[in-house]
Amino acid sequence: MTFLTKRIFQPRSIFSLLKNGNCLSLQLKKISMKLENEIVLAIQEAIEKLYGTKLEPNKIPIQQTRKDQNGDYTLVVFGFSGLSKKKPEETAQELGVFLKENVDFIADFEVIKGFLNLIVEDKIYINVLKENQNRKNFGFLEVNPHDKVVVEYSSPNTNKPLHLGHIRNNLLGFSLAEILKANGKNVTKVNLVNDRGIHICKSMLAWQKWGNQITPESAQLKGDKLVGDFYVLFDKKYKEQIAALVADGLEKEQAEKEAPLIQEAQEMLRKWEENDVEIKTLWQRMNTWVYKGFDITYQNMGVDFDKIYYESETYLLGKELVVEGLKNGILFQKENGSIWCDLTDEGLDEKLLLRADGTSVYMTQDLGTAQLRHEEFDAQKMIYVVGNEQNYHFDVLKLVLKKLGKPWFNSIEHLSYGMVELPQGKMKSREGTVVDADELMEEMYITAKTTTQELGKAEDFAQEDLEKLYQTISLGALKYFILKVDPKKQMMFNPAESIDFNGNTGPFIQYTYARIKSILRKAGEVEQMNFWPESLNEKEKNVLKQIQNFPSILKQAGELYSPALISNYVFELVKLYNKFYQEIPILKETDQVKRQFRILLSSFVAENIKNSMSLLGIHVPERM
């Protein structure tokens, strides 16, 4: 008994301080994890006292009680029958009695079959507010400058505009960076632009042949769209040539290699690598068009980068690494001069690193980029946000770096996300079955506008504010729609069904925020609380129970690289708050302590919604 008391009420426990009411000096960032830990410790002591065995904390199966049951935390006692030599129900009963009597924050308990449901004192939840009422970023950690992480995302090709697949990539990358920052990481966001290669030459060649010197200005078209059109045009003409050759009796494979267009494109690539002035000038000119277009898309999407790498600048470094690896006998050369890495001892194949003609492949430049990035940042982690179609590529990248003797190879991590599918299947640029990023955002904007107008909201807004509101809502809907899905999973987008604004959506969450802000405006200044309520009603308690989970959700999201966890969290919070809002008076409450408490609670929820949404790259409106 004394031991137990000592253990639970030793000074480092937050609960010991509850009694005295002077807990100001405490680090509160871990408060939510604390509660669970304290309960585990209490149970640990109880079992030791009752059954004479000390269990490791991870052997104590505790979880939050299901919503349909009475209680806050549930201990599953089936596993303890061996210790107690009693039926689960009796064991649960014994433990329950013991905990209620000896632990001051356990108010009560209930036993159902082998489940011990523990009811925590309301004070504990009230305390979450009490302790944090002045904190701006509840749950966020201070950034540690030495804990460096580089996040690469977006990584576009410069031969076509961005589409829905890129949107998922960009939103994931941006959100991941925000989540890691909130977990105390010193994050650098980088973009690797794939600005060289045969695909670029295809667009260039088509422009040369059929472009009539057209420019984005003369065409009144975004540069990336213009260049993308020529990429599609190339493909169309190329296919015609193949068809003609096949009609003349050639095998299809043969025709694909011999078609004059593809040979011209390859010739152009060779010239590019030889620094042919004319080709390089055209290349630069067209890429500039594309970048201007990308900038607009990025800006509309609300994503940005701290640094941009260009493949045309990093591939040579990769080449050097490969040549050096060959010299050191780590890599090997085939008769035709191509250079390879043997990964058969790792269970993989041989991997080509330099072509017979000495030109580099995708892997070559990624070796160079990784090396450069490591030298520049020396980060604990270098995370690549890239689709799961490239899983093999990143396995190989790490292994080749390992073989080349780079001890930092293990800092490379791949956030591998699933493809976005349309009802008719995968998106294909060349077949025109892509959902264009700019067009989708524009459509969302129009939907946001018409919906807002139909609802008759915001009629007194200034024009400027209206446009900002439509932007906020439409992007909120789009971003939330994408980010609420587990990144690893493939997801479905049906363009025929516009993205919803009701239910589990961005606007629903934004709306809840706006309603709270409305209340807060009417309430005036949120005052410091000097008196606190003794107890909570069910709705208040549910909101606080959810919000005290936030720090551990944030941590988990940072470990699993999953914005979806934040989305699910904030949706659940908002639902619980809306139930509270619907049923419990706030401004109309006549008891001043309760009224103030509810205003403060609302304010805290609003702040947490805003913070959570910012982790997803989503803004929240003050009114809507």
Q: Which of residues 40-69 bind RNA (CB under 7 A)?
A: 58, 61-66, 68-69
Closer residue to RNA in complex, CB, 409/508: 508
Q: In whole angstroms, give the CA distance from residue 584 to residue 539.
A: 8
Closer residue to RNA in complex, CB, 19/270: 270
For the CB of residue 145, give the shortest distance to RNA in the complex, in Å. Answer: 30
> Would you count residue 485 as binding RNA (CB under 7 A)?
yes
What's 287-329 look like in SS3? HHHHHHHHHHHHHHHCCCCCEEEEHHHHHHHHHHHHHHHHHCC
> Would you count residue 12 as binding RNA (CB under 7 A)?
no
For the CB of residue 551, give the shortest distance to RNA in the complex, in Å. Answer: 13
Cβ atoms of residues 505 and 477 within 8 Å: yes
For the CB of residue 584, give the shortest distance to RNA in the complex, in Å. Answer: 5
Burial class of residue 460 (count of CB atoms within 10 Å of its CB; 0-12, 13-18, 19+): exposed
Window 313-342: residues binding RNA (CB under 7 A): 334, 336, 338
Q: Binding residue for RNA (CB under 7 A) from 288, 328, 391, 410? A: 391
136, two tokens: 């701006």
Dihedral (CA of 575, 581, 582, 583) sign: positive
**Of 5-13, 141-149, 181-189, 388-396: span binding RNA (CB under 7 A):** 388-396
H-helix or E-strand containing 350? strand 350-354
Residues 505-524, one symbol each (x = binds RNA by CB under 7 A, - = not), give: x-xx--x--xx-xxx--x--
Closer residue to RNA in complex, CB, 292/489: 489
> Would you count residue 545 as binding RNA (CB under 7 A)?
no
Reduced to 3 states (helix: H, G, I; strand: E, B; else coil), residue 189 is strand
Q: In whole angstroms, give the CA distance from residue 191 to residue 309.
A: 6
Cβ atoms of residues 489 and 415 within 8 Å: no
Window 564-583: residues binding RNA (CB under 7 A): 564-565, 568, 571, 575, 578-579, 581-583
For the CB of residue 410, give the shortest distance to RNA in the complex, in Å. Answer: 19
Other CB atoms within 10 A of residue 48 CB? 15
For the CB of residue 369, give the shortest distance to RNA in the complex, in Å. Answer: 12
> How many residues belong to the chain?
624
Window 71-90: residues binding RNA (CB under 7 A): 71, 74, 76, 78-79
Closer residue to RNA in complex, CB, 21/82: 82
> Would you count residue 133 as binding RNA (CB under 7 A)?
no
Cβ atoms of residues 481 and 440 within 8 Å: no
Question: Could you give the count of Cα atoms lying within 13 Å of 124 in the half-sphere of its Cβ?
Answer: 24
Window 248-307: residues binding RNA (CB under 7 A): none
Window 406-435: residues binding RNA (CB under 7 A): 418-419, 425-426
Closer residue to RNA in complex, CB, 64/410: 64
For the CB of residue 552, give the shortest distance to RNA in the complex, in Å. Answer: 8
Q: In whole angstroms, give the CA distance from residue 24 to residue 127.
A: 11
Nearest to 615 by CA among 300, 182, 141: 182
Question: What distance, in Å, lies between the first and last C-alpha atoms of the chain?
Answer: 57
Cβ atoms of residues 377 and 408 within 8 Å: no
Dihedral (CA of 433, 437, 443, 447) sign: positive
Q: In whole angstroms, give the CA distance from residue 353 to residue 322.
A: 7
> Would you count residue 588 as binding RNA (CB under 7 A)?
yes
Q: Binding residue for RNA (CB under 7 A) from 19, 252, 285, 489? A: 489
Q: Binding residue for RNA (CB under 7 A) from 199, 209, 271, 307? A: 199
In degrees and rounded to multiples of 5, residue 151 shows phi and psi of -115, 115
Residues 450-469, one symbol each (x = binds RNA by CB under 7 A, - = not), give: -xx--x-xx-----------
Q: Binding residue for RNA (CB under 7 A) from 362, 377, 461, 532? A: 362
For the CB of residue 156, give the shortest distance to RNA in the complex, in Å. Answer: 9
Closer residue to RNA in complex, CB, 17/367: 367
> Would you count residue 219 as binding RNA (CB under 7 A)?
no
> Would you count residue 492 as binding RNA (CB under 7 A)?
yes
Q: Binding residue for RNA (CB under 7 A) from 181, 484, 541, 610? A: 484
For the CB of residue 624, give the shortest distance to RNA in the complex, in Å. Answer: 4
Nearest to 124 by CA among 536, 583, 622, 456: 536
For the CB of residue 571, give the shortest distance to RNA in the complex, in Å. Answer: 7
**What region does 13 belong to: left with phi over 0, alpha with psi -120 to 50, or beta?**
beta
Q: Binding residue for RNA (CB under 7 A) from 584, 593, 594, 614? A: 584
For the CB of residue 120, give the shortest distance to RNA in the complex, in Å. Answer: 14
Q: What is the DSSP letter of 436?
A: B
**Of 70-78, 122-130, 209-217, 278-286: span binding RNA (CB under 7 A):** 70-78
Q: Give the long-range contacts of residues 441-444, CB within 8 A, separation 24 or more.
A: 441/300, 441/301, 441/474, 441/475, 441/478, 443/498, 444/474, 444/475, 444/477, 444/478, 444/498, 444/499
Q: Binding residue for RNA (CB under 7 A) from 504, 526, 529, 594? A: 504
Window 604-623: residues binding RNA (CB under 7 A): 623
For the CB of residue 319, give the shortest distance to RNA in the complex, in Å. Answer: 13
Q: How many residues bind RNA (CB under 7 A)?
A: 93
**Of 42-50, 114-122, 131-139, 245-253: span binding RNA (CB under 7 A):** 114-122
For the CB of residue 148, give the shortest distance to RNA in the complex, in Å. Answer: 27
Closer residue to RNA in complex, CB, 219/308: 308
Q: How far is CA 61 from CA 49, 106, 363, in A?
A: 18, 17, 46
Q: In whole angstroms, give the CA distance from residue 596 to residue 599.
A: 5
For the CB of residue 43, give the shortest distance to RNA in the complex, in Å. Answer: 13
